[in-house]
Amino acid sequence: MLAIRKQQRLLLAGGALTPFLVTIFERIAAREIPATIVYEDDLVLAFRDANPKAPAHVLMVPKKCIPRLAEAKAPDHAVLGHLLLKAAEVAAKLGLDKTGYRLVINNGPDGGETVPHLHIHILGGRAMGWPPG
C-alpha cells in the first residue's frame, strides 16, 4: 500500500494525477510535514491538531488512506476498531480520561470535513457544548 502511495507521489510530481491522491495526513505520517506526534504504531498515527479547538486537540488517523467513514469497507473493520481503542488510550495518556473528552468524526461537507483522510478528533481540557454547532 505504501509503495503504491509513493508511486502516486512520483506520478504527482510529473503532473499525471490530481493532488488529492496524497493527503496532508499521509505527508505527516511520511514525516514530509512536521507535526507533534503523540502516538504511532503500524496502523495508526495520532498528532496534535495545527489549529486546536480545545486545550487538548489530537487527530487520530489510519495510516491507510480511507477518505472518510462513509467509504470504509468491511475489510477495514479491524483498523476502525483499533482506531477507537487507541483514541481512548491516547486520551488517557493525555490525562483527559479523568474529566472526560469528546471524539468527533466529520464526514462530508455538511459534517465539516476538510481533509479527505478519515480522522478522529480527540478534544478535551474543557467542558464541551451540546448540541455541536
What order do you get walking across the sheet with 44-48 strand by strand? 37-40, 44-48, 56-62, 120-124, 101-104
50: Cβ contacts below 8 Å, ≥ 6 apart: 35
Residue 38 lies near ligand 5GP (rule: CB under 6 A) = no
Residue 51 lies near ligand 5GP (rule: CB under 6 A) = yes
Residues 109-128 interacting with ligand 5GP (rule: CB under 6 A): 112-115
Category of 14 on φ-ψ map: left (φ > 0), alpha (ψ -120 to 50) or beta: alpha
Q: Which of 24, 69, 80, 103 binds ligand 5GP (CB under 6 A)?
A: 24
The three cell numbers locating residue 72: 470504509
Residue of 77, 82, 119, 121 with catalytic role: 119
Q: Which of 5, 12, 38, 49 binds ligand 5GP (CB under 6 A)?
A: 49
Contact set with ligand 5GP (CB under 6 A) = 24, 33, 35, 47-51, 59, 106, 112-115
